[in-house]
Amino acid sequence: MAFNFESVDLQLFAAGDAVHGTEAFVNANDPAKSASYTEGSGLSAEMKTFYDKTLIELAGPSLVFDQFAQKRPIPKNGGKTIEFRKFNALPKALTPITEGVTPTASKLTVVPVTATVDQYGDYVELTDMIELTSVDPIVVEATKQLADQAGRTIDTVVRNQIMGGTNVNYCPLVAADGTETEITSRKALTDGCKLRVRDVFRAAAQLKAMNAPTIDGAYVAVIHPYVAFDLMQDAKGQWVDIQKYADPSAILKGEIGTLGGVRFVQSTEAKIYVGEEGGKDGAAVFCTLFIGANAYGSTDIAGGGIEHIVKQKGYGNDPLNQRSSVGWKATKVAKRLVEEYMLRVESCSSFSASVLEAN
């Protein structure tokens, strides 16, 4: 059954902490309400805004999976529950209408999908000696590292939710003579089970058969660089590189090319299973996610769910002003909305033997 999707309500807390003593932070939800700094803290309003923008802008490029989610802004003081609603498609109206007789009205079937938001975050502690002796602008460098961490963390939250979808294909084992052997489980995958052109066309056909809407005219697949290498070797003459796009301005974040009506976005964060969770003899298994529009939803991070926090020397139990810290905090959740609009294709790769850690 295909669904028409409409997101109706998204509710969660907007972050905002009190200021005690010399504690201070930049409120990303509302820069105008950033905590005031005590006299002598050394950070101007301009610097607070700079650090805040640095964190959010640098975290953005890591949000590969999040860019295809249905997103809504985070309302303030709205509780901790997100509610999406999707509508079942109406059946075909094949019964002829009788002249002069009003037919019975159809009823919309609404299916609510709810989720509870969580907070994530981390910080680094800086000593007074580091600040005095470092040749680098230490707060800026710490913010850059934390932004990278924040982006990868937030995107992994989305990835782990959507990778649990119920629709999955396993790439067949292809022998040297071209003979294919069907694979029905992850544990049976070997390095001969690579993602090939035929698997891409099959995935696209399955999404089309479920009436999954496209994203700007095509389906999208998030693929690991190792799997992309195998696919491009098999797709010579059919692969369209982004350099050949007629409109370069429309390139997606991380996009590398198109094949069979599917736009491929490359990410090292594409899910990998190894060891007991991997393929045969522990071979690394890579997940390529094929998605249509409105397959899943998530909270909107920019301007609403991520906060940059700077605490000056002397905060907390620091009588000698030896420690300061820089950190981030984010409120995030993702939810699968229409299972039929996404498909996970699992395969091994030419590089499976060299990958020893899951992500």
- 249-299 residue pLDDT tens: 789 989 999 999 999 999 999 999 999 999 999 999 999 999 999 999 988
- If we measure between CA atoms, which residue out of 79, 60, 2, 86 comes closest to residue 335? 86
Residues 314 and 172: their CA atoms lie apart, in Å, by 61
Give per-residue pLDDT as tens, 204-254: 999 999 999 999 999 999 999 999 999 999 998 899 999 999 888 789 989
- pLDDT tens-digit map of 91-113: 888 889 988 888 888 887 777 77
Residue spans of alpha helices (H) in 123-256 = 128-133, 138-162, 197-209, 225-234
pLDDT band for 41, please (50, 70, 90 cuts).
very low
| Beta-strand relationship, 240-241 and 173-174 | unpaired
Q: What is the pLDDT of residue 56?
A: 56
| Residue 57 confidence class, pLDDT cut points 50, 70, 90 | low
What pLDDT, in 10s, does the model give residues 338-359? 999 999 999 999 999 999 999 9
> Stretch 309-337: mean pLDDT, rounded?
87
Band the pLDDT of 79: cuts 50, 70, 90: low
Q: How far apart are CA 198 and CA 111, in angstroms?
A: 35
